[in-house]
Amino acid sequence: MNISIIAKEIEKEIIAIRKTIHRFPELAYEEYKTAETIKNELLKLGIEIIVNENYTGVIGILKGEQEGKTLALRADMDALPIHEETELEYKSQNSGIMHACGHDIHVAVLLGVAKILSKLKSEIKGTVKFIFQPAEERKKGIPSGAETLILNNVLEEPKVDAIAGLHCWPELPYGTIGIKRGGMMASSDTLNIKIKGKGGHAAHPHKCIDPITICGYIITEVQSIVSREIAPFDSVVISFGKISGGHAPNVIPNEVELQGTMRTLNERTRNLIHQKIRDRVTMISRSYGGDAEIEIIKGSPSLTCDDNMINILENVINNQLTETEIVNLKNPSMGAEDFACYLQHVPGLFFRLGTANEDENSKIPLHNSKIIFDERAIYHGMCAMSTFALEYLEVNR
Ligand SMILES: [Zn+2]
Ligand SMILES: [Zn+2]
């Protein structure tokens, strides 16, 4: 049976499910209703379900009628603490919460893929593991959904050989799929620096150690790590988003706190930047008689797809899906994605699902209160993911 035909048949029903999920968005680790919807849909298909009281996600297992590898397909489920400002008839009913990153579409696409593949069990050469993952939008200080699921053995029983996922992309029109070889998305680490000086009267700076002056040197000097010590073709971002210190114009404070984010496209550069920042900040602080406490909180790692999996997706789209077009993305994104955590363990494929149309509101960036995703993308997402899954299991038998 042809995947495109089945996808067309179920498209309306899947779009309706997406609208319900959009109407009732839930924050990270609170996706109870969303999980309920997913469970009910998977049960209707006779798919084996694994739930775990440690998280709100849902895992589904579909065994093909032939032996083979296990491919995991992942959709994230959570929404954002944003007040929706669209006029959609299915706009958010949960005040202050919105599916502004398109995870409602990801869930809908994966439910559609589950429907399609459960009709094609005889053609599946192996097992498909559906991972409906909570909490991609990391709350500060707690593990992301991918980290939680990995800790709870989502990549075991059955052991996952590879994983694939997608993300809505308002920079591409609906009907297109974006791929990127090499570094695709950045690692994201938080930097907390406490600069310790010695406070006193601002009229007598020689009797103090001024942490504000030290902080100024650190802010400018750290950028020279990026410009002078990292190769120009190796992308790195260091941005400081918060400075706090001092109470009065004529008082030198004891301490200044500086917080920022660091992004890199590979793990080698990531480790190098961590060390260089520690060295530079300590050296500058001490050269003025002060000191510094440096805390680096590691977020998601950088994301690089498996080239063979990209080739499979490219081939199936070019040869089997005439309505969908593949686009090679020119640049990586310095944004981060916790899908990268799975890729620390298994090879994976992450691709962009074009969701833009002629309406300007469909082209504004993710996480915006006015963004409207074109739901026609769902059909293309279902076709691409299902066709890829069958082909991956076929060629990797
Ligand atoms: Zn997001
Ligand atoms: Zn997202």
Indicate whether 181 and 131 sit together in one domain: yes
pLDDT at 48 over 70: yes
Q: Which helix (H) or strand (E) holds 13?
A: helix 3-23
pLDDT at 127 over 80: yes
The C-alpha atoms of residue 132 and residue 24 are separated, in whole angstroms, by 17
pLDDT at 1 over 70: no
Ion ligand 1, residue ranges at CB < 5 A: 101
What ligand has the least distance to the C-alpha of 168?
Answer: 2
- The predicted pLDDT at position 140 comes to 72
The C-alpha atoms of residue 152 and residue 37 are separated, in whole angstroms, by 22
The C-alpha atoms of residue 137 and residue 80 are separated, in whole angstroms, by 7
Phi, psi of 160, rounded to the nearest 5 degrees: -80, 130
Indicate whether 328 and 383 sit together in one domain: yes
- The predicted pLDDT at position 194 comes to 98
pLDDT at 139 over 80: no
- The predicted pLDDT at position 241 comes to 95
* Alpha carbon separation from 169 to 137, 247, 339, 372 (Å, rounded): 16, 44, 15, 11
What ligand has the least distance to the C-alpha of 104?
Answer: 2
The C-alpha atoms of residue 127 and residue 47 are separated, in whole angstroms, by 11
The C-alpha atoms of residue 81 and residue 75 are separated, in whole angstroms, by 19
Indicate whether 141 and 107 sit together in one domain: yes
Indicate whether 344 and 377 sit together in one domain: yes
The C-alpha atoms of residue 182 and residue 325 are separated, in whole angstroms, by 21
Q: What is the pLDDT of residues 148-189, one digit of tens each?
A: 999 999 999 999 999 999 999 999 999 999 999 999 999 999
Indicate whether 154 and 276 sit together in one domain: no
Between the CA of 191 and the centroid of ligand 2 the distance, in Å, is 22
Q: What is the pLDDT of residues 281-321, one digit of tens each?
A: 999 999 999 999 999 999 999 999 999 999 999 999 999 99
Between the CA of 338 and the centroid of ligand 1 the distance, in Å, is 10
Domain limits at 275?
A: 187-298
Between the CA of 97 and the centroid of ligand 2 the distance, in Å, is 14
Between the CA of 349 and the centroid of ligand 1 the distance, in Å, is 18
The C-alpha atoms of residue 30 and residue 61 are separated, in whole angstroms, by 23
Mean of pLDDT values over 248-260: 97
Q: What CATH code is carried by the domain that includes residue 91?
A: 3.40.630.10
Banded model confidence at residue 138, pLDDT cuts 50, 70, 90: confident
Indicate whether 244 and 255 sit together in one domain: yes
The C-alpha atoms of residue 78 and residue 103 are separated, in whole angstroms, by 6
Indicate whether 21 and 149 sit together in one domain: yes
Instruction: Bin 102: left if φ > 0, else alpha if -120 < ψ < 50, else beta.
Output: left
Between the CA of 147 and the centroid of ligand 1 the distance, in Å, is 16
Between the CA of 76 and the centroid of ligand 1 the distance, in Å, is 10
Pick from 279, 298, 317: which residue ends a domain?
Answer: 298
The C-alpha atoms of residue 96 and residue 82 are separated, in whole angstroms, by 5
Indicate whether 150 and 192 sit together in one domain: no
Structure tokens, 1: 């049976």
Indicate whether 169 and 198 sit together in one domain: no
Percent of the chain past pLDDT 90, that is, above it, reads 97
Q: How many domains does the chain have?
A: 2
HSE of 179 in the Cβ direction (CA atoms, 13 Å)?
22
Q: What is the pLDDT of residues 94-111, one digit of tens each?
A: 999 999 999 999 999 999
Indicate whether 103 and 211 sit together in one domain: no
Indicate whether 103 and 141 sit together in one domain: yes
pLDDT at 91 over 80: yes
Query: What Rg do the C-alpha atoms of the chain give, in angstroms?
Result: 24
- The predicted pLDDT at position 142 comes to 87
Pick from 241, 268, 298: which residue ends a domain?
Answer: 298
Contacts of residue 157, defined as CB under 8 A and 6 or more positions apart, other chains included, come to none
Pick from 276, 298, 320: which residue ends a domain?
Answer: 298
The C-alpha atoms of residue 29 and residue 39 are separated, in whole angstroms, by 16
**pTM attached to this predicted model:** 0.93
Q: What CATH code is carried by the domain that includes residue 201?
A: 3.30.70.360
The C-alpha atoms of residue 320 and residue 385 are separated, in whole angstroms, by 12
- The answer to whether the beta carbons of residues 134 and 55 sit under 8 Å apart is yes
Indicate whether 23 and 104 sit together in one domain: yes
Print burial letters for 20-53: b (CB count within 10 Å at least 16), e (below 16). ebbbbbbbbbbbeebbebbbebbeeeebeebeee
